[in-house]
Structure 1
């Protein structure tokens, strides 16, 4: 996790791995051991070795020990799932929630054909917006999704989670009611879960995505991080770009909308071989 500067679903709240590493020990290629494990909040004594080695993927040294920043575990958590008409609507919703909700803990997106794939894998339609599903070829359907007419993406399912020491449910519900994404979000396209069992059911449609993709075939995987104003265009256009290189390929998109990171998975003819 240190060598790759891993992130995860809570980057928008806590930052990536680099933000958690406050001390590091590493061994250079010649056997020299560099150790800076003090963990001070402010340390001006030379290079910031923790930041340098985090994300270096072993090219500079082998990390042998780290000192990590810890965060209090939130005791109150509420999760919501929204079915939105497009990636641009999801990006707008995510930006508004980040501005208005201090307790925001996660913002995840499952795009169009990806939701069809994971729903088929789970044997269950999504809790909201099931009528919006467009089939993914990898799930046995007919349409790839992701590049609808007019250069706009298909529907997107947004997971928004708030957490803290004080129950954030009222704040999250109020923020959802204020969303301005070009049109009102119908009540039947919003689900809010307070208890762990219902929250796990919502999260299953995001957390089982990797398993669903792997069950459909051997994917080519890419992690792409974009500025918010580029993300909707990317999601709308990348399936067609992939098909222009391989007409039999299907693109499955999901990821961390809170930090602009999209997991691009390419399945289908030729997708498991070649560069």
Structure 2
């Protein structure tokens, strides 16, 4: 088993700070890409649990996770009223983060919103992205997604979901939840679609989705795989919902590690 050093920092930008956590294997090769994890719409560093550590151990890569602005221990949102292009803006924010940390090449692993951000970043900044892994990413709006969000709103109003999220987001919890739910359920988001970006993705990609994903159909996977220009492979996991890395951890780890070692790193040499 590899040993690694863990470090945390609040990285300062012009008007905000982002919490960043890094797992660095003992004998890291500096020329290798960094693996960057992008959390979902209600997520943060802590909610990845030990998944980043397992990836660092099995790939030998430095793994970085961070709280996007408004989440976890990062600075609160400047404005919770999101615009329909908020995910593209997060791709720009990711690029700024990579620039500040002097990361020349990254492999992106994104879950849900994080998956959409990973795809957008790979399309907008192809020189920075060596590979993309997504779980439950969206490239257009589906009714199943809106129904899932409506159910989440009901749970937020009627269960202890707010208290559960407060453990991770503190007094930012209401802002985190409504920033996500309000924009997705708004009329102006119905036509959101990022398929036009997909042909600009040149790196290898692994597109993962649970067969029983409550927030999207397999049409999302097919749209991505069919339209990216780089070599794409898909992994559909039976009897799994929207969070494969927690529901089928070993399967996702194995597929991700194989993809990184055999598809991404092999293409770098």
Please give the TM-score of this superposition, normalised by the length of structure 2.
0.31
* Higher normalized helix content (fraction of residues): 2
* Higher normalized strand content (fraction of residues): 1
Say which structure, 1 or 2, has more relative contact order (CA 8 Å, 6+ apart): 1
Please give the TM-score of this superposition, normalised by the length of structure 1.
0.30
When Rg is computed on C-alpha atoms for both structures, the one with the higher figure is 1
